[in-house]
Amino acid sequence: MPIITISRGTFSGGRKIAECVAEKLGYRCISREVLVEASTEYGVSQDKLLEALTKKPGVVERLTWERNRYLAYIRAALVREAREENIVYHGNAGHLLLKDAPHVLKVRIIANMEFRTAAAMEREKLSREEAVRFIARVDEGRVKWTRFLYGVDWNDPSLYDIVVHLDHVGLDGACGVICHMAGMDGYQSSALSRGILDDLVLSTHLRALIAADKSISDRQVEVRSDGGTVTVAGTVEAIWEADKIRAMAISTPGVKDVVSELRVRLPVWAVGAD
């Protein structure tokens, strides 16, 4: 069965549509639950994780390394949820966090500004002008966030399998369209796709464990898995870091073999030395 991600601008009806789809298909509907799981598993506050998902970068992003660590925790938790399949995820950037996962139905919901403004006014108790400014600020943050971290435009329709405009179909219609697509052959799981998800669970969990060990300079470390054979690649600052990562990989349940392609960064004084 497929994994469904629903992306939307703030106050665009995404939560209601996700709940409708989950109810009709008998799926689990998740969002903040992923933050709770990541917070518990990797020992970081939910507020920090939420900030990593929503706070737009400044002119000079000083917390990139820390933010990427938080995203590693969230991605590991989300991939683990996705491995169980039959989920509808309507949290931030699900289509990007699960970009390597198979049989994912990626949905983008669009609503007109009047619909969104009315929803913001009702839920946040704002004036019309305040609601418009609030929505614009959140939208701008999401665009900057995705461009900064993933190098893509949040509004690019090619990132999604379907873009649904509520002006044309309404909430119930959107729910029906998504449920119909979820039954299409191209979004069904197979032995091959489940194997890919198993490898993603393994690689993202190990990557999160490495990120959680603050003694390792993991900024340029990448992890991938193929049938349980894990490859760790990238650059670290010292040999002991490479050894520690290899030891962590070997001791991770599910890992059958470890290939290390880690390089140790040369100190400045050694560059160009004979």
Q: What angle do CA 232, 238, 244 make, to 5 degrees?
A: 50
At 232 the pLDDT is 97
| Tens of each residue's pLDDT in the chain, 274 residues | 789 999 988 899 999 999 999 999 999 999 888 888 998 888 888 888 887 777 766 544 555 677 788 889 999 999 999 988 899 999 878 888 888 888 999 999 999 999 999 999 999 999 999 999 999 988 888 888 788 778 888 889 999 999 999 988 999 999 999 999 999 998 998 999 999 999 999 999 999 999 999 899 998 999 999 999 999 999 999 999 999 999 999 999 999 999 999 999 866 444 455 4
**How much is the pLDDT for 6?**
95
Residue 202 inside a domain? The answer is no
Dmax over Cα atoms in the chain, in whole Å?
71
Residues 173 and 221 in one domain: no
Sequence-ordered alpha helix ranges (H) in the chain: 14-25, 32-42, 46-54, 64-83, 94-97, 113-124, 128-150, 166-182, 191-212, 239-251
pLDDT digits (tens, 9 = 90+) for 15-60: 999 999 999 999 999 988 888 899 888 888 888 888 777 776 654 4
**Residue 256, domain member (yes or no):** yes
Whether 9 and 67 share a structural domain: yes
Query: How does 67-93 read in b/e, with b if 16+ C-beta sit within 10 Å?
Result: bebbbbbbbbbbbbbbeebbbbbbbbb
**Both tokens of residue 180?**
């119909």
Report the domain count for the chain.
2
Kindly report the number of other CB atoms within 10 A of residue 51's CB atom.
Answer: 13
133 with 244, same domain: the answer is: no
pLDDT for residue 49: 84
In a domain, 194, yes or no: no
- pLDDT score recorded for residue 99: 83
Does 192 reside within a domain? no
Task: Output the domain CATH number for residue 142.
Answer: 3.40.50.300
**Which residues form the domain of 158?**
3-187
Q: What is the pLDDT of residues 147-178, one digit of tens each?
A: 877 888 888 999 999 999 998 899 999 999 99
Which DSSP category does 118 fall into? H
Token pair, residue 155, equals 């509004």
181 & 219 share domain: no
Domain assignment present for 206: no
Both 168 and 221 in one domain: the answer is no
Q: What pLDDT is stored for residue 230 in this prediction?
A: 97
Q: What does the alpha-carbon distance between residue 75 and residue 194 come to, in Å, rounded to a whole number?
A: 17
In this structure, are 137 and 11 located in the same domain?
A: yes
Task: Judge if 167 and 236 occupy the same domain.
Answer: no
- Which residue, 214, 218, 203, is CA-closest to 262? 218
Q: Which of 184, 222, 224, 175 has its CA nearest to residue 200? A: 224
- What predicted TM-score, i.e. pTM, was given to this entire model? 0.84
Quote the Cα angle for 54-55-60, to 5°: 145
Do 168 and 220 lie in a common domain?
Answer: no
